[in-house]
Amino acid sequence: MKKILFPLIIVMFFSCNNTKSDNVAIVEKGITQKQIVVDLKLIAGKNKIEVDKVLGKSDKVESFSARSTPCKNTPCEKAYYQKDKFEIIFVNGKADWITINNLLEYDLTEDNIEILGLQFTTSYFNNPQNLIRWKNIENINEINFFSDGSGRISYAYIKVQTE
């Protein structure tokens, strides 16, 4: 009897264990939730104080002015966050040009727009070898995913308001 009871208790213990691994996608009602890199709506068009609340204090801030940009006459502020994961240029005091680096863990596919906290939508332009571009999504002018050359996202470049 003891030989049967012990294995039975072990089987019951493991079958009743409800914990989930952190590496497993959560599935509810048939929809897989992706890990969100950043909820873009919380930083796009926001001032530096608001962005700092979401991404943490910037690692470095510098002046940015380049020809053929809105920053050429009045320099803009460029801030780096999370060890250069995020580079944000504040045009007229608002987060307008956003670069998100180090996205190599994600495939260059349209559905990965969701890693920015946005709903899936069909892209405006899709060349899976180089670039996927969306235009006019949730008050964001343009979102670009650039390939690393092997089907992964190298980085995302977002233009919130300026062209």
Helix (H, G, I), strand (E, B) or coil at 46: coil
Q: What angle do CA 15, 17, 14 make, to 5 degrees?
A: 40
Which residue from 154, 146, 39, 148 is spatially nearest to 95, judged by alpha carbons? 39
Which two tokens mark 143?
């979102």
Q: Where are the domains of the chain?
A: 34-159
Kind and range of the H or E run holding 11: helix 2-16
- pLDDT given at position 40: 97
CATH dotted code for 34-159 = 2.60.460
Strands 94-100 and 86-91: antiparallel
Q: What is the pTM of this model?
A: 0.78
Which residue from 114, 107, 158, 105 is spatially nearest to 128, judged by alpha carbons? 107
- pLDDT given at position 22: 37
Which two tokens mark 138?
């949730």
Q: What whole-number distance in Å separates Cα of residue 90 and Cα of residue 125? A: 26
Residue type, 151: G
Do 135 and 124 touch, CB atoms closer than 8 A?
yes
- pLDDT given at position 3: 54
- pLDDT given at position 33: 64
Q: What is the pLDDT along the chain (163 residues), one digit of tens a residue?
A: 545 545 545 444 444 444 433 333 433 444 456 799 999 999 999 999 999 999 999 999 999 998 878 898 899 999 999 999 999 999 999 999 999 999 999 999 999 999 999 999 999 999 988 999 999 999 999 999 999 999 999 999 999 998 7
Helix (H, G, I), strand (E, B) or coil at 69: coil
